[in-house]
Amino acid sequence: MAREEVAERGSSHQPAVRAMTARLTRRPGGPARLRALLASGQTIVAPGAFDPLAARLVEEAGFPAVYMTGFGTSAALLGRPDVGLLTMTEMADNAARIAACVDIPVIADADTGYGNPINVIRTVGAYEAAGVAGIHIEDQVAPKKCGHMDGKLVIPAAEMAAKIQAAAEARADPDFVIIARTDARAVEGFEQALARARRYLQAGADALFIEALTSEAEIAQAAGAFRGVPLLFNWAEGGKTPPIGLARLQELGYRIVIFPISTLLAATAAMRRILQEISQAGTPAAALGDLPAFGEFVDFIGLPEVRAAEQRYTATEAAAAPEHADGTP
């Protein structure tokens, strides 16, 4: 068959084929789509995902973006707390697996940038290659800690500003979103945290993340200090920041709200329950009614698309047989 005929046949089936293969490939343009969400004026609610399955569930629930949590990644990959144990490549690899399986933009934790400005340049390249839409980088001393743990230390503000400048200048895609996070509230106080955030904004950050605010008054004051600047609010489950309603956060002007470990805590509770059932009853039979059916689950993770691809691309013996120059078998 001539190449032109093959191309024509492929184009005529393109919508159906794309629908079949969409769940098996990454949709490009995450940074541009995240920028569009930021420009829309809506508050982007991005629940946390610690692995691709959690990210698929976030997408299924209809959220516009997903947040790759460093806390959850450390718990899922290592079974250990978020105290700087994971390397940049481990974090970027998890981000890549998450970004590959969802069509919504992924915002990812990039910890401290994993070193000095030169290291940050490599970090930005790795996360861009992973397919995420944006990252946040924090001003903690390495090894860092979860933002809601005690004992944090921060680097000099000038050093962090250089990292943000390097990140902004290193990105290949100008839409890739750089979020500057400061952990200075717990170390230097609220006013210094605001001062650092201003400096990071001037260095080239697209959005700001003032971590571990301790009262609703501080949450409101931080929003008031940066009118018109995209701010990220960390709704840290059980952390130092008080729980506050989404409507109030929207009223204050926060543009991104993450819920980093809700899925992690929920998954832990559910696994504990089923394991207790197996331990006590010998099998999970009594609890199966509360679980997704096997068929439902494999459909959710994409088995129908795999089956369709197998049918389309598995050559039959006749189709695979070579042709002679005159077209005869």
In the set 171, 196, 234, 255, the catalytic residue is: 234
Residue written as token pair 């008054």: 217
Give the Cα separation of 99 and 59 in Å (integer).
Answer: 11
In the set 114, 146, 196, 218, the catalytic residue is: 146
In the set 33, 51, 56, 82, the catalytic residue is: 82
∠ at Cα 235 (229, 237), nearest 5°? Answer: 165
Gyration radius of the chain's alpha carbons? 23
Give the Cα separation of 319 and 329 in Å (integer).
Answer: 10
In the set 35, 101, 111, 127, the catalytic residue is: 111
Instruction: Give 78-128 as a DSSP string.
Output: HSS-SSS-S-HHHHHHHHHHHHTT-SS-EEEE-TT-SSSHHHHHHHHHHHH
Examine the residue annotation and report whether 51 is marked as an active-site residue of this protein: no
In the set 136, 171, 185, 255, the catalytic residue is: 136
**In sequence order, which residues have a C-beta less than 8 Å from that of residue 313 and are 6 or more positions away?**
none
In the set 211, 218, 254, 255, the catalytic residue is: 211
Examine the residue annotation and report whether 206 is marked as an active-site residue of this protein: no
Q: Phi/psi at 120 (nearest 5 deg)?
A: -60, -40
Examine the residue annotation and report whether 8 is marked as an active-site residue of this protein: no
Examine the residue annotation and report whether 211 is marked as an active-site residue of this protein: yes
In the set 109, 183, 206, 218, the catalytic residue is: 109
Examine the residue annotation and report whether 200 is marked as an active-site residue of this protein: no
Examine the residue annotation and report whether 159 is marked as an active-site residue of this protein: no
Examine the residue annotation and report whether 109 is marked as an active-site residue of this protein: yes
Examine the residue annotation and report whether 13 is marked as an active-site residue of this protein: no
In the set 33, 35, 67, 206, the catalytic residue is: 67
In the set 181, 196, 199, 255, the catalytic residue is: 181
Task: Report helix, strand and coil shares of the chain as percent, to nearest 5.
Answer: 50, 10, 35
Residue 153 in tokens:
């230390």
Examine the residue annotation and report whether 93 is marked as an active-site residue of this protein: no
Examine the residue annotation and report whether 175 is marked as an active-site residue of this protein: no
How many Cβ atoms are within 10 Å of 5's Cβ, its own excluded? 9
Catalytic residues: 67, 82, 109, 111, 136, 138, 146, 181, 211, 234
